[in-house]
Amino acid sequence: MASPVIASGSGTGPDPAGADTGPAGGAIEALGRRRLVLRRFLRNRLSAAGGVVLVLLFAMAFLGPLFYPWDHRTQDDLALLTPPSPEHWFGTTKLGEDLFAQCMRGLQKSLLIGLLVAIISTALAAVVGAAAGYFGRATDRSLMWLVDLLLVLPSFLVVAILSPAFRGGSWLLLVVLLAAFQWMITARIVRGMTLSLREREYVKAARFMGMAPWPIIRRHILPNMASLLIIDATINVGTAITAETALSFFGFGIQPPDISLGTLIYNGTESALTFSWLFLFPAALLVTTVLAVNFLGDGLRDALDPTSLRGRRRD
């Protein structure tokens, strides 16, 4: 049954729907659609690898410490600044803390921040953009005015200035701050797409059957830009991790005793040439994470977009 499904998904020819499949067609077909996307996605080996790496990173960050004898605060007074060894996989710091445990702790934080910021900012962009585009008039003008205002504010400076005020507060505040400055451009794109989607006949049909605006947005507008939103979210993960790292590097953001990859890299820079493992391991983890997410995002975009040539089979 694979071939008709592929044919219909890629739009190459009219598929005689209803020729052969029985009542179970629904489940099979839905699976078929997903399988088509998956197939296109897997064709792009780099992005599939990105996905696998990301899952591994999560598993390592959250499960690794459970099986590892050291935690990120315990100091091993017998091993100060030792290079990587079977006992301390990534080596130790000058206080004798285990770098692997610290990296995992930092990775936990960075991954969480990345994901949360991505989800919050994309959701915010979707809601604001769709509302502005769908309702138009005053709603549109005031929301877009807000977007433009936030766009011209130098977000890094604002976060940097505000973060001492939140000192001692939870790192969740940082998530909120980062998310608050990351949604505007997407919101503008969403608004533009909404403007064209709301003129589509199926949206009109919904309106003429008496459906209220928010259900229309939820049911018809947002699902039709799902690919944009998914991709935006994956890209935002990388952006958020980088922004947090940058902030923490400059001493804002995550503050000691808490750890993120950014603070680890900051601490490691001065000894990057002498005790290179202090810098190399957290930096490598950061680069791996961001690259994995970006490859994943690329692949998703190509797989979801039926017009993309990269997912297509070559002759």
Partner 1 sequence: MLEVRDLEVSFPSEAGRVAAVRGLSFDVGAGEVLGIVGESGSGKSVSALATMGLLPPQARIGGSIRFHGTELLGKSDVALSRIRGRRIAMVFQDPLSALTPIFTVGDQVAEALRVHDPKLAKKAAAERAVDLLDLVGIPHARARSASFPHEFSGGMRQRVVIAMAIANDPDLIIADEPTTALDVTVQAQVLDVLKTAQEITGAGIVLITHDLGVVAGVADRLMVMYAGRAVEQGAVDEVFGHPRMPYTLGLLGSVPRLDATEKRPLVPIEGQPPPMTDLPPGCPFTLRCPMAVERCSAEEPALEVVGPGPGGPEPHRSACWRSGDIERVEHDVAGAGADTAATLFGVRAPAPGAAGTDGRPDRPVVLDVVDLVKHYPVTTGSVFRRRVGTVHAVDGISFDIREGEVLGLVGESGCGKTTTLMEILGLEPPMGGRIVVLGSDVAGLGRRARVAVRRDLQVVFQDPVASLDPRLPVGDVIGEPLEVHGVARPQIRRRVAELLDLVGLRPDHANRYPAEFSGGQRQRIGIARALALEPKVLILDEPVSALDVSIRAGVINLLEDLRARLGLAFLFVAHDLSVVRHVADRVAVMYLGKIVEIGAVDRVFAAPSHPYTQALLSAIPIPDPAVERRRERILLRGDLPSPADPPSGCRFRTRCPLFVELDESRRRRCVTEEPPRAAVGSGHEAACHFAHAREVV
Q: Which of residues 162-221 bind partner 1 (CB under 8 A)?
A: 200-202, 204-206, 208-211, 215, 219-220
Q: Are 104 and 128 in contact (CB under 8 A)?
A: no
How many residues are given for the chain?
A: 315
At position 158, the amino acid (one-letter code) is V
Least distance (Å) between residue 210 CB and partner 1: 4
Using the minimum distance from each CB to partner 1, give the nearer residue, 27 or 138: 27
The DSSP string of 9-49 is HHTSS---TTSS--TTHHHHHHHHHHHHHHHHHHHSHHHHH
How far is the C-alpha of 70 from the C-alpha of 299, rounded, in Å?
A: 37
> Of these, 31, 226, 284, 287, which contacts partner 1 (CB under 8 A)?
226
CB of 7 to partner 1, least distance (A): 4
Q: Does 9 bind partner 1 (CB under 8 A)?
A: yes
Closest approach of partner 1 to the CB of residue 208, in Å: 5
Residue written as token pair 């680069």: 287
Count of residues that bind partner 1 according to CB under 8 A:
43
DSSP letters of 96-111?
A: -BBHHHHHHHHHHHHH
CB of 40 to partner 1, least distance (A): 9
Whether the Cβ atoms of residue 75 and residue 97 lie closer than 8 Å to each other:
yes
The answer to the question of residue 137 lying near partner 1 (CB under 8 A) is no
> Is the backbone peptide bond immediately before 257 cis, with ω within 30 degrees of 0?
yes
Nearer to partner 1, 13 or 86 (CB): 13
Q: Which two three-digit tokens encode residue 113?
A: 């921040």
Comparing CB distances to partner 1, the nearer of 77 and 315 is 315
Closest CA to 268 of 154, 66, 112, 102: 102
Instruction: Name which of 232 and 244 has its Cβ closer to partner 1.
Output: 232
- Restricting to residues 15-54, which ones interact with partner 1 according to CB under 8 A? 15-18, 21-23, 25-27, 29-30, 33
Q: Say whether residue 8 binds partner 1 (CB under 8 A).
A: yes
Q: Distance between CA atoms of 54 and 243, rounded to whole angstroms?
A: 19
Smallest distance from partner 1 to CB 149, Å: 19
98 pairs with which residues across the strands? 92
Is 136 a residue that touches partner 1 (CB under 8 A)?
A: no
Instruction: List the interface residues with partner 1, window 79-118 (CB under 8 A).
Output: none
Positions touching partner 1 (CB under 8 A) are 3, 6-18, 21-23, 25-27, 29-30, 33, 200-202, 204-206, 208-211, 215, 219-220, 223-224, 226, 312-315
